[in-house]
A and B are shown apart, each in its own frame.
Chain A
């Protein structure tokens, strides 16, 4: 009965490949997020969707494309992977958008680009 789940947990791939990370939440939340945690542990938001609509789109290379097929899912597709994309990617969800509602995080996906 995991609240926010991500697959895969680990992803090792070569430069130039295309890969996807999936996220699902079973909390009935309206808002979902993708964060990137770099090697220095800085956690930075990439995207946010509210009711399947994009509401936050930070300065992220357009090789990164989020897709929300429904409110419970927010997937992250990355084209032409680069070494600098190596990081831990966290998905999160909240009941509503905005700062006042608690965000629930998934366990993270550690992406390593060789």
Chain B
């Protein structure tokens, strides 16, 4: 069965520090992978997605993610966090053979001044 695990429920980083949010997925074929961000009181916004090709994907707002098939991971990174990045981040997996996402439970990011 398809599933997504985000092992970190909460993460706090200092402004300007680097960030890595972990995502592991379970899917039997080549996955489509996504990261979404949800700001308080807002809907989800797509940060980036991976379908195929280069395993390092660039997204909006300076985020990137790397697909590692051997580790079944799709971790999200940002070299220098800004206070406005404080939000909840969701990883999701989909696939060619079905037309819906499976979402992780989210990681809440706090940014210290």
> Which A residues contact B (CB, under 8 angstroms)?
4, 40-45, 48, 55-56, 58, 90, 92, 97-100, 102-108
B51 at the interface (CB under 8 A from A): yes
- Inter-subunit contact B103/A42 (CB<8 Å): yes
Q: Which residues of A contact B99 (CB under 8 A)?
A: 48, 55-56, 97-99
The closest CB in chain B to the CB of A42 belongs to: B105
Q: Is the interface of B mostly helix, strand, loop or mixed?
A: strand
- Inter-subunit contact A99/B94 (CB<8 Å): yes
Q: Is the interface of A mostly helix, strand, loop or mixed?
A: loop
Count A-B contacts at CB 8 Å: 53
Q: What are the 10 closest A-B residue pairs judged by CB atoms, nearest first?
A: A105-B43, A99-B94, A43-B103, A105-B44, A41-B106, A99-B32, A45-B100, A107-B43, A98-B99, A106-B43
Q: Which residues of A contact B103 (CB under 8 A)?
A: 42-44
Q: Which residues of B contact A108 (CB under 8 A)?
A: 41-43
B90 at the interface (CB under 8 A from A): yes
Whole-angstrom distance between the Cβ of A72 and the nearest chain B Cβ = 17
Indicate the member of B36, B41, B99 with the most A CB atoms within 10 Å.
Answer: B99
Q: Which residues of A contact B42 (CB under 8 A)?
A: 107-108
- Inter-subunit contact B96/A107 (CB<8 Å): no
Q: Which residues of A contact B88 (CB under 8 A)?
A: 41
Chain B: how many interface residues by the 8 Å CB criterion?
22
Contact of B101 among A97, A99, A100 (CB under 8 A): A99
The closest CB in chain B to the CB of A103 belongs to: B46
- Inter-subunit contact B45/A99 (CB<8 Å): no
Contact with A along B76-97 (1 / 0, CB 8 A): 0000000000001010001110
Assuming A99-B94, A100-B32, A102-B49, is B101 touching A45 (CB within 8 A)? yes
Whole-angstrom distance between the Cβ of B5 and the nearest chain A Cβ = 12
In the complex, A92→B100 CA distance in Å?
A: 12
Q: Which residues of B contact A90 (CB under 8 A)?
A: 43-44
The closest CB in chain B to the CB of A33 belongs to: B100
